[in-house]
Amino acid sequence: MLAYLSTSRTILARVEAGVGEPGPNGVHAAMLDLRNAWQDLSLNPGGTAARQQVLGRAETLAQALRMQVGNVTREEADQRVHANSLVSEIDTAASGLAALNHDILVTEQNGTDAGVLRDRRDQLALRLAELAGAVTTIEPDGQYTVAVGGTTLVQGKEAGALVVASGITPAGDADGSAISYRVDASWGSTVLPTGSAGPGGELGAVTEVLTTTLPAYRAGLDAVAADLAASVNAQQAAGYDASGAPGVPLFTYDPLVGAASLQVAITDPAQLAASSLPGGALDGGNADLLSRVGTYPDAYQRLVNGLGTEVAALERRTANQASLSGALDDAREQQAGVSLDEETVNMVAAQRAYEAAARLMTTLDEVLDTLINRTGLVGR
């Protein structure tokens, strides 16, 4: 659980840092700047500079939204590669543990102490728990059986292979399907369950980020961009540009692509429909309305606040789990480790026995010396 929480927190904290909110260069600041620019234009509908300012800030806002989508896309690509790397490491650890199962069995059958091998096997079992939430069972003959997502991965001296069944190509690209994993082994091939019943640990965290967290954030950005484009374009159509013609769309947006497709559609500042009156009247009524249309600023703030809240919750849960894991590790080490008091008593007893044996040997040596070298010398 600690590895799962820590990995989730690290990934989402990096995404949050890329969002850059609150800040002067964030998306929210760009939204406010655009609304202020519309307000300035409503006060000076004939001003070329005011019209150019609206276009410039609209472009800044579109760029900021596209940049955020790009950050999410790059994080998704990194995590797909990360998932492949974790699967490879899991298989290596599983093979090593299976080999140690065999070596330990043979060593102990030969009457040799296998303590070092058992320590190495324990370390691999712990690493598999961190990587995939693996559960280890000790069999009656001392062999370890390891299961991931309820499916046996290691059994005696044999190890299965955990593979990406769908969702991620070997090169780390998305194949359009849902992410799933499979164990291929001599005892059969099994597709692991998804969600909380599937792999845990680092792999479970990466999988959840790829299937739930990042897609949800991307969908939130898409919704913000869609509302921005729809509300502004609708109000543009309700007004008139500098020549008196009905307003044309300010933004282009493809719902099949999402926020990454958001672009400023017009380049001529005169096409901004600042007027609510036809015929080229210098009226800023529609620009005033354009400064207030849509709910995209509030929706964006809710989206960012939700991400920040999730990161903060993960930090708290990670700290709590670290404390709990530390206490459990201490208890385990106390049970499995060396008792200093007991070992001190054993060392003192051994030292006394050595001293007594040494004293006995000295006495015997003196007796033999007397018998051999000094008998019959009296009177000479």
Cα-trace Rg, the chain: 36
The CA distance from 142 to 246, in Å, is 82
Label residue 337 by pLDDT band (50, 70, 90).
low
User: Tens digit of pLDDT for each residue in 166-225?
Assistant: 999 999 999 999 999 999 999 999 999 998 899 999 999 999 999 999 999 999 999 999
pLDDT reported for residue 333:
66
pLDDT at 35: 97
User: How many Cβ atoms are within 10 Å of 43's Cβ, its own excluded?
Assistant: 11
Whether omega before 249 lies within 30 degrees of 0, making that bond cis, reads no
Question: What's residue 90's pLDDT?
Answer: 97
- Taking the alpha carbons at both ends of the chain, their separation in whole angstroms is 90
Strand, helix or coil for residue 182: strand
Pick from 133, 146, 134: nearest CA to 7: 133
- Any idea which residue has 């690493």 for tokens? 127
pTM, full prediction? 0.81
Determine the average pLDDT of the residues in 357-364: 83
Q: How far is CA 292 from CA 54, 57, 370, in A?
A: 14, 15, 117
Is residue 109 over pLDDT 70? yes
Percent of the chain exceeding pLDDT 70 equals 95
